Amino acid sequence: AIRLLTQKHDLDCETILITAGPTRELLDPVRFISNRSSGKMGYAMAEAAATRGARVILVSGPVQLTPPEGVEVVPVQTAVEMRDAVLAHLDAATVIIKTAAVADYYVAAVPTHKVKKTAMRFSLELEPTPDILAEVGRRKKDQLLIGFAAETENVVAEARRKLLAKNCD
């Protein structure tokens, strides 16, 4: 509580849109593909921004975290849901921070029933998900856009490529 009383409120005039966590893309009605994102980085950024006085909109994939106090949370599951939520709040935002680990692919034709396990091989045909960061980069006006690059090799080169290709700041 003491920290909150002494914290600067230098973000009072900002509306910060933050994405966090993974997305889940359905394989069938009971299974999905996802990734290991915990959402901790996005939630920590949301808490810090709210503490500094910002209005915070947190678009969150499925995580096991308690939302920070005073933050508007928009829960989503899929990449398309995350895209729609981000675009719905984009005009209100002065800063967009995209920490979410959005799935790169989804199954375009999800079966209506559980796919039963058999001894036969099973193949998936995957389609690319919308590139939310690139779309926001094209649409942004006088907004600060921060993106992240989770890489396993050529980290600096790939981060720089993404910065330029997606019009990040």
Residue 35 annotated as catalytic: yes
Point out the catalytic residue in the list 14, 33, 35, 162.
Answer: 35
Start-to-end CA distance of the chain, whole Å, equals: 33
In this structure, the strands spanning 126-128 and 105-107 are antiparallel
| Whole-Å CA distances, 155 to 20, 39, 140, 150, 161 | 21, 21, 25, 8, 10
Which residues have a Cβ under 8 Å from the Cβ of 153 and sit 6 or more positions away?
Answer: none
How many C-beta atoms surround the C-beta of residue 42 within 10 A? 26
Full 3-state SS string of 4-73 = HHHCCCCCCCCEEEEEECECCEEEECCEEECCCCCCHHHHHHHHHHHHCCCEEEEEECCCCCCCCCCCEE
Instruction: Name the residues annotated as catalytic.
Output: 35
